[in-house]
Amino acid sequence: MTNSMKVSKIVQLLGYLGLIPFALPSIMVWNLSVNTPAEFLFLIFCVYSLLVCSFLTGTIWAFNINLNRSPLDSILLFLMPLISSFMLMALFNQALALSMVNVNAIEGIVSIVLVSSLLLSYVILYAYEIKLFEHKYYYKKMRLWLTLAVISAHVSWLLFFITRYF
């Protein structure tokens, strides 16, 4: 097995293993009893999603630098997970929220907006990366499947909050 084949296998293994923290909370939330709070699962899911989204914007930044392109696009792309981070902090820590806003009263709406913004971030990052960078076939294929799985996990949370609050 050549070195590039070993690297592609490791990249794929790590990529697909990275789906576990997306998939488990997204499936587990549907198996909770009606009165069981889902906040802890949602917190795990959102924090991990933000970390991965930030990592992806960082890799796009590195791709741009290696190709002598302006990193400005990457910096602008980083604003998506940054804004989501502020919504996450406001949702899970009322001390960080403005004193005029009752976060509990708008928990469902904030949760839906947060998951929607993360979902949109992944779609935009995937479209941006595929349009501007020429990757190896295995990587393109892996990114497509990973992105579809991550989007599905986010849709699961969207459906959960829509059925729970509306």
Structure tokens at 74: 């990457």
Q: What is the pTM of this model?
A: 0.87
Residues 15-49 have pLDDT tens digits of 999 999 999 999 999 998 877 778 889 989 999 99
Do 23 and 149 contact (CB within 8 A), yes or no?
A: yes
pLDDT over 70 at 119, yes or no: yes
Longest dimension (CA), the chain: 62
**DSSP 3-state percent helix, strand, coil across the chain (nearest 5):** 80, 0, 20
User: In terms of DSSP H, where are the helices of 93-136?
Assistant: 107-132
Name the average pLDDT for the chain.
Answer: 87
pLDDT over 90 at 153, yes or no: yes
Instruction: Give the span between the Cα atoms of 29 and 49, in whole angstroms.
Output: 16
Q: What angle do CA 131, 146, 58 make, to 5 degrees?
A: 60
The domain limits of the chain are: 44-165
Q: Which residue did the predictor score with more confidence, 166 or 47?
A: 47
Structure tokens at 36: 């069981």
- According to DSSP, residue 32 is labeled S
Instruction: Give the span between the Cα atoms of 21 and 149, in whole angstroms.
Output: 11
User: Band of the pLDDT at 94, cuts 50, 70, 90?
Assistant: low
Phi and psi (nearest 5°) for 32?
A: -80, 150
